[in-house]
Amino acid sequence: MSDGPNETLERFLSVQGGIPFFAALGASMVEAVPGRSVMRLPYAPHLIGNPDTGVVHGGAITGLLDHACGMAVSSGVEAERPNSLYGMRGLATLDLRIDYLRAAKPGADIFVVGECIRVTPRIAFARGRAYQESEEAPIALATGAFMITEPRTG
């Protein structure tokens, strides 16, 4: 049986505290259910890419989209294959496409959603979006493919 929403979120929150990239961004988990993750990136001076406009650097958004999609894939694989060796597997981003639709508004938090859309024996696919005010008005869209790796022995 796979985790429920509360167990999934608690597990992801405990993992996130140990990931330096996530901590350096200042991001936080908002929601985590099998196959879906939602993260919040608070606006902060260290994330500004253009000091003249105050716009958040696209690299921070790209990195968080990759992270949210990876977390969604990780929980999606576990939901599809409970009690399998995949619980101890790793993931590697094979392909990640980001389409920037508009600049993020300075001073506003960014939310990132990752969704696992398909799992095959070795590859999982995800999509994501970054937005500020509404999911229907994204600032960036992501599509990614992730390789599911076998656990290392020894």
Q: Residue 48 is part of a domain; what is its CATH number?
A: 3.10.129.10
pLDDT for residue 141: 98
pLDDT for residue 149: 83
The total number of structural domains that make up the chain: 1
Tell me how far apart the alpha carbons of residues 144 and 128 are, in angstroms, rounded to a whole number. 8
- Calculate mean pLDDT across residues 61-68: 96
Instruction: List the domain range (segments joined by +) for residue 139.
Output: 5-149
Q: What percent of the chain has pLDDT over 70?
A: 78
The yes-or-no verdict on residue 8 having pLDDT over 50 is: yes
pLDDT for residue 91: 87
pLDDT for residue 10: 55
Kindly state whether residue 139 falls inside one of the protein's structural domains: yes
Kindly state whether residue 85 falls inside one of the protein's structural domains: yes
pLDDT in tens, 112-136: 999 999 999 899 999 999 999 999 9
DSSP secondary structure, 61-108, as one string: HHHHHHHHHHHHHHHHHHHHSTTSGGGG-EEEEEEEEEEE-SPPPTTS
